[in-house]
Amino acid sequence: MSDLDRAIEQLRACRLIPESQVRELCYKARELLIEEGNVVSVDAPVTICGDIHGQFHDLMELFRVGGDVPDTNYLFMGDFVDRGFYSLESFLLLLCLKVRYPDRITLIRGNHESRQITTVYGFYDECIRKYGSANVWRYCCEVFDYLALGAIVLGASSELEPTSNTGLSSMPIDDSELETEVLNSSGEVTSSTYRARQRSSSDASTDSRNISPPRDISAAPGQAAAPSRTGAPGTGASGDGNGSAVTSRTGAVLCVHGGLSPLIDSVDKIRLIDRKQEVPHEGAMCDLLWSDPDEIEGWGLSPRGAGFLFGGDIVKQFNHLNGLSLVARAHQLVMEGYKEMFDGGIVTVWSAPNYCYRCGNVAAILELGEDTSGGGTVARSNGEYGRSNGIVNNRVVSPGRRYRVFEAAAQDTRGMPAKKPVADYFL
Amino acid sequence: MASHIPNLNTLRRGRGRGRGIGRTEETGLSSGKDRIVQGTDNDASVSRLSAVELGYLEDAYAAALTPAGSATRRLPIINRGTYARTTAIDQLVARFLGPSSPENTHKKQIISLGAGSDTRVFRLLSSRQTPDFIYHELDFAVNTTDKIRAIRSAPILQRALGIDSSKVSEKDTGVTVSVAGDALHSPSYHVHPVDLRSLSTCSDPAGALPGVDTGLPTLLISECCLVYLSPTEAEQVVAFFTQRLFGHGHAVSGSRDSLQEVQSNGASLGLILYEPIRPNDAFGRTMVSNLAARGIQLKTLPRYASLEAQRGRFRDQGFGDGQAAADIEFIWKRWVNEDEKERVAGLEMLDEMEEWQLLARHYCIAWGWRERDNALAFAGWKDLEAQQGE
């Protein structure tokens, strides 16, 4: 067993590795990350995850629900550290996995992967407390500077393979394909939506049907509401009405931590940023890590004091110009674990259940399946796709999306340190 | 008894901490749950000091009333919440007291329930030209003892109380402290060691709280205090003030034959509450269970779970002339002006907007009043913007 495998084993048990090993790990990780572009290309199938925030035991639950590395191909959209009690264990484990299985796990940078933010929100203090000096914090911050700013997922299928391990009827409606599916942490389908299979004559209507959750999970927080809705929350992607349905023409998926920037109108522009620095207070790099979608038109000022708010028109235009079918991002707590907006043009994925041990939310991960239809036509990631033959193909099909929703790891296994006060309230 | 009341300054000289002073047998009576509730005061003072040190609040007295060595930097959302809560109550208090000027001769009274280490009285005493108010603080003896000890050891607190260290006799300072070190009396400031639950059964209301002027327009403040009592107990505490100490809230007095009670029928009375609300959504359920894990029970929360329930509480409990409530998110949005918002937002990066909204929606400020004798003591509250709905 290599030192690295031993380190992984140790960190999985939530035990820290020696400082010298952290230094070595961070050095190796930097060598690896420096070779990655600002926008990493990732092939489907992939499981996309949002904020972790040092909630180590919930990260373990995430791996239980989503599958282990390297069996599952993971993409983490940043905010590994701060707020939770185990930022070190969480980040170092992810980093070990990255070094051990570089092609099976992708890490991109969140706004908390920053010297300034970590001194306010806990990671710095945790390093001092657990290692007795700021050395490990410095090693980690140097790694932060090399993390990619985004990722492009290619080759995702427009249609989900229905989950088979449910006793419920999941027969597709005629001439429809499974577009989204929501599963609980036991792998049971709690809701799903279908869309019309692409035909030249079909309109843009969305067929949807709901599947009632099994009785024993119907009272689970965050899921109780889902089955009563028409379709999964926020799923509004419409069927595509333009011709040839032979090969999938699923657009690429852009993954960033925060969102879009008024200074960035193409994915290629992201590639031009000099990213190897502390997160700046303004500018394109800052915006990608700090911005939020909002129900506005155009751009707005962010209440966070960094980045911008951007509306549905901005997302539609950006996706169209870049041949994207979806922007996946994290950054915002959503009580249901995920939230689609703007006709499914953007999705927020949040992977820290009961955030800060206080918020009572569930978490989610997003699985994108591989397109096995054999067409072999994969959208190019540089923004050309969808523009070349201009007249008809101005919309691309959303990928099939499977959300796995999960709750916080059980209280008794979480092992919250007793001397650290639990979540703050006003008393 | 009076001969046993020592001079505050002579006590200060002998700093040899609390031999014979302090923990009385009353402390021994406190149950474990009470001790936990008493401990919540420490939490509040640490939060206040954090907000002060980062520039959210100006409060020269915060450090002197926070236990040494417990200073901790709180997270930005907690600091913002402390800011919103404190400035909102400050505003309600300021509008109740009216402008501080020689022309304003209407003396008023404030009674702070479970005041703990609160600094408000010191801030008011130092910022107002004349002591045009009487301020009472009520708390468990263990907490009042700590506070009086803090006053003894901090010249800045003594100066705010007008204690001139060059004058040594009791007459000159006008400040007396009980022999147990748990009660303090001065012309404008009184500290009463009292378990609020004992008020409802006391036979002599005025005697229970010496120094209270039952003829003055009076404001009661409960910052996270009554919420720890059972609904019945909390209601009895309020009734003690609305019905017994300050006379019956209705024109029909219980015993017309007592001249005193008829006279005391007239005091205008207001109440400000700061409490958690909305325990029934995901955040609220988590809050209740997290606090329960620390032994903290928010006993009135299920009954007063919404803004509407809080307004109804004021209506039902003797504050018939006005009832209003707003959650802290509303207060932050609507009571803090844009310049001030910008200043506060610039103090720290507040990354967690969604979490801030969740947290801020689960605390409310509620206020209500009754007027007597056309005093219009609470006229200043009428144009404050309150939140509608649940």
Would you kindly state where each structural domain of chain B is located, as residue ranges?
106-248+266-325+352-378
Number of domains in chain A: 1
Residue A55: inside a domain = yes
> Pick from A340, A122, A93, A101: which is nearest to A233 by CA?
A340
Q: What is the C-alpha to C-alpha distance for residues B18 and B39, in angstroms, rounded to an integer?
A: 20
Q: Are A305 and B346 a contacting pair at CB < 8 A?
A: yes
pLDDT for the residue B2: 42
pLDDT category at A388 given cuts 50, 70, 90 is very low
Among B224, B283, B359, whose Cβ lies nearest the Cβ of A427? Answer: B224
Chain B residues touching chain A at CB-CB below 8 Å: 40-41, 43-44, 47, 74-76, 78, 81-82, 85, 224, 274, 276, 281-287, 290-291, 293-294, 296, 345-346, 348-355, 358-359, 363
How many helices (H) and strands (E) would you count in chain B?
A: 16, 9
Among B74, B85, B358, whose Cβ lies nearest the Cβ of A424? Answer: B74
Read off the CATH number of the domain in which A305 is found: 3.60.21.10
CA B82 to chain CA centroid, nearest Å? 14
| pLDDT at A168 > cutoff 70 | no
Q: Are B282 and A361 a contacting pair at CB < 8 A?
A: yes
Residue A295: inside a domain = yes
Q: What is the C-alpha to C-alpha distance for residues A363 and A333, in angstroms, rounded to an integer?
A: 9
pLDDT category at B171 given cuts 50, 70, 90 is low
Q: What is the C-alpha to C-alpha distance for residues B356 and B282, in angstroms, rounded to an integer?
A: 15
pLDDT for the residue B22: 34
Q: Tokens for B87, please give them.
A: 């400035």
Among B293, B351, B363, whose Cβ lies nearest the Cβ of A426? Answer: B363
| pLDDT at A78 > cutoff 70 | yes
| pLDDT at A253 > cutoff 80 | yes
pLDDT for the residue B27: 41
Residue A144: inside a domain = yes
- Taking contacts as CB-CB distances below 8 angstroms, the residues of chain B near A355 are 355
Please state, for a pLDDT cut of 90, what percent of chain A lies above it.
68
- The reply, when asked if residue B196 is annotated as ligand binding, is yes
Question: Out of A168-182, B50-64, B150-164, B308-322, which region has the weakest mean confidence (pLDDT)?
Answer: A168-182
Q: What is the C-alpha to C-alpha distance for residues B200 and A415, in angstroms, rounded to an integer?
A: 44
| Burial zone of B320 (CB within 10 Å; 0-12 exposed, 13-18 middle, 19+ buried) | middle
Question: Out of A106-120, A230-244, B35-49, B158-172, which region has the weakest mean confidence (pLDDT)?
Answer: A230-244
B223-247: per-residue pLDDT in tens?
999 999 999 999 999 999 999 999 8
Query: Phi first, then psi: what are they for A346, rounded to 5°?
Result: -145, 145
A279-313: per-residue pLDDT in tens?
999 999 999 999 999 999 999 999 888 999 999 99
Q: Are strands A46-49 and A74-76 parallel, antiparallel or unpaired?
A: parallel
DSSP state of B46: H
Q: Which of B48, B75, B82, B344 to mutate to test binding with chain A, by most A CBs within 10 Å of its CB?
A: B75
8 A C-beta contact, residue A200 and residue A222: no
Is omega for the bond preceding B210 within 30 degrees of 0, making it cis? Answer: no
What angle, 0 to 180 degrees and rounded to 10, lies between the N-to-C axes of helices A87-100 and A19-33? 50
- The yes/no answer to whether this complex scores an ipTM above 0.95 is no
Q: Which residue of A has its CA nearest to B351?
A: A304
pLDDT for the residue B50: 95
Q: Which residues of A carry out catalysis?
A: 112
B250-287: per-residue pLDDT in tens?
443 444 444 444 344 569 999 999 999 999 999 999 99
Chain A (163-222) residues lying within 8 Å, Cβ to Cβ, of chain B: 221-222
| pLDDT at A187 > cutoff 60 | yes
Query: Phi first, then psi: what are they for B384, rounded to 5°?
Result: -75, 140
Q: Are B293 and A422 a contacting pair at CB < 8 A?
A: yes
| pLDDT at A327 > cutoff 70 | yes
Chain A (81-120) residues lying within 8 Å, Cβ to Cβ, of chain B: 111-112, 116-117, 120
pLDDT for the residue B101: 78
Residue A217: inside a domain = no
- The reply, when asked if residue B339 is annotated as ligand binding, is no
- Please name the amino acid found at residue A374: G
Average pLDDT over residues A5-19: 96
Q: Spell out the CATH class of B106-248+266-325+352-378.
A: alpha beta
Structural domain boundaries, residue A129: 3-162+249-373+397-413
Please state, for a pLDDT cut of 90, what percent of chain B lies above it.
66
The pairs formed by A187-191 with CB atoms below 8 angstroms and a separation of 24 or more are: A187/A163, A187/A404, A188/A213, A188/A214, A188/A217, A189/A163, A189/A213, A190/A217, A190/A223, A190/A226, A190/A227, A190/A405, A191/A226, A191/A227, A191/A229, A191/A231, A191/A232
- The reply, when asked if residue B295 is annotated as ligand binding, is no
Question: Out of A6-20, A332-346, A390-404, B182-196, which region has the weakest mean confidence (pLDDT)?
Answer: A390-404
Among B74, B296, B355, whose Cβ lies nearest the Cβ of A356? Answer: B355
pLDDT for the residue B284: 96
Q: What is the C-alpha to C-alpha distance for residues A300 and A308, in angstroms, rounded to an integer?
A: 6
For residue A60, the surrounding DSSP H or E stretch is: helix A56-66
- Taking contacts as CB-CB distances below 8 angstroms, the residues of chain B near A222 are 282
Residue A186: inside a domain = no
Q: Are B283 and A358 a contacting pair at CB < 8 A?
A: yes
- The reply, when asked if residue B223 is annotated as ligand binding, is yes
Residue A310: inside a domain = yes
